[in-house]
Amino acid sequence: MPVCQTRPAPAPLLNPGETVVLFDGVCKLCNGWARFLIRHDHPRRVRLAAVQSPEGQALLAWAGLPLDQFDTLAVIRDHHYWVRSEAVFEIIAQLPATWRALLLLRFIPRGLRDWAYDRVARNRYRLFGKYDSCLLPHPDHDQRFLKGRL
């Protein structure tokens, strides 16, 4: 599987060049990751969407990813999307320079990275817990979430 998947049409709901991270809105680990991005993405390069939201579902459908059982985060920009460990590295590349040293982990073979990613993703509810429903964004963070464009 290539590092980046490409679709013939640009992703719906996004402005050109806009990056969106799709995450599991009921997963405590995934919500922690979303809060980390809000806290550290000062230039606001990344927007967020829960896979359970109408916007998340539309983007999953566009990428041809499962709509009902989603066990990876995805990054979407223009005609492209990334999943699994490559999605994590695409997010890190959008963060301030202090975090970019983590990109050195990209030298670990992708098969090994994705194997480890899959183990955590498949067991994330058991390891980290699960919310009963998607958490609503804090009013101060509302503009960081992709919504209201359908």
Number of domains in the chain: 1
Cα–Cα dist 150/131, whole Å: 25
Instruction: Walk along the chain (150 residues) and give the pLDDT tens digit of each residue.
Output: 458 899 999 999 999 999 999 999 889 999 888 889 998 998 888 999 999 999 999 999 999 999 988 888 999 999 999 999 999 999 999 999 999 999 999 999 999 999 999 999 999 989 999 887 776 666 666 778 887 555
Cα–Cα dist 20/14, whole Å: 8
Structural domain of 10: 5-128
139 located within any domain: no
What is the CATH classification number for the domain harbouring 123? 3.40.30
Give, in degrees to the nearest 5, the angle at Cα 65 between 84 and 56: 90
Tokens of residue 118, six digits: 């899959």
